[in-house]
Structure 1
Amino acid sequence: MNKPSAFLVPLLACTLALGACTVVPPRVTISGPSVAVVAPVAPPPPRVEVIPEAPGRDFFWVPGYWHWEGNQHRWIEGHWERHREREHWVPHRWDRDDQGQWRLSGGYWHHD
């Protein structure tokens, strides 16, 4: 067997093996908020969003919310999410704590 053929056979075998692989992105389920977001002032009222057409029947709209960044609230646009089996979406919400601070909670998938 000459040198080019000796190199091409293993290369072809690897190419065929890798071609049969399927890459599946990991599915992450968060059981609760992972980062504490605290603001010294209440968020503004939620914005009125124009909800675009759903990308499919198994999608639902996750409304936008105010997020605290630096020293101000910033609006995070709503988006479509695909329904998940045996899980439900817990929406974002702001609550005032005992010290008068505002805490953001929610915004995660909860396993039923």
Structure 2
Amino acid sequence: MKRTLLILVVGFSAIVLSQGIAKAQVTVEQKPTPPEVKLPTPEKPGPDYQLIPGHWIWHRPSKMYVWVSARWVEKKENRQWNPGHWQKQARGWKWIPGKWEKIKRKRYFFK
């Protein structure tokens, strides 16, 4: 009986907690354009760095997208940067953030 109750409580907790993990889907009527004033790109700090171009992020306190300038980050092994982009939605535009993705390698099968 105690074991069954424990399983039910853990299962219910997992369901409730997973509800808050979903990311907010923020859409805007018009796709914002990058700012006209471009800040200079900082110097590359070393050969193992990848330039992440300027991009948009949702700023919750101001309830608007804000521009983040380009920056250098360390490259991740076996990954490549896939830049963010605007995606057309039924009610406007949504920003899809950039992310690191595994490099897809062709596999060769020999007979």
TM range (shorter): 0.5 to 0.7
Determine the structure 2 residue equivalent to 1:76.
68
Q: TM-score, normalised by structure 2?
A: 0.58
Question: What RMSD over aligned residues (CA atoms) do the two structures have, in Å?
Answer: 2.1
- Indicate if the aligned counterparts of 2:34 and 2:67 stay in contact, CA closer than 8 A: no
Q: Deviations over 1:49-98 (max 9, x none)?
A: 4111111111121011122334433111221011122111111111112x
Where structure 2 has 5 or more consecutive residues not aligned to the other structure, the ranges are: 1-21, 104-111
1:61 paired to 2:51: yes
| Cα displacement (A) at 1:46 | 5.5
Determine the structure 2 residue equivalent to 1:44.
33
Q: TM-score, normalised by structure 1?
A: 0.57
Residues 61 and 75 of structure 1, relative CA distance in 2, 3 Å threshold: same
Distance (whole Å) between structure 1 residues aligned to residue 96 and residue 46 of structure 2: 28
Among all aligned residue pairs of Structure 1 and Structure 2, give the percentage whose two residues are the same amino acid. Answer: 28
Distance (whole Å) between structure 1 residues aligned to residue 57 and residue 28 of structure 2: 9
Please state whether the residue corresponding to 1:51 is helix, strand or coil: coil
Bigger Rg, which one: 1
Residues 68 and 106 of structure 1, relative CA distance in 2, 3 Å threshold: closer
Distance (whole Å) between structure 1 residues aligned to residue 69 and residue 29 of structure 2: 22
Count of residue pairs brought into register by the alignment: 78
Of the two structures, which has the highest relative contact order with CA contacts closer than 8 Å and spacing of 6 or more?
Answer: 1
Where structure 1 has 5 or more consecutive residues not aligned to the other structure, the ranges are: 1-33
- Larger deviation: 72-81 or 43-52? 43-52
Q: Which runs of 4+ in 1 moved over 4 A?
A: none
Distance (whole Å) between structure 1 residues aligned to residue 98 and residue 49 of structure 2: 16
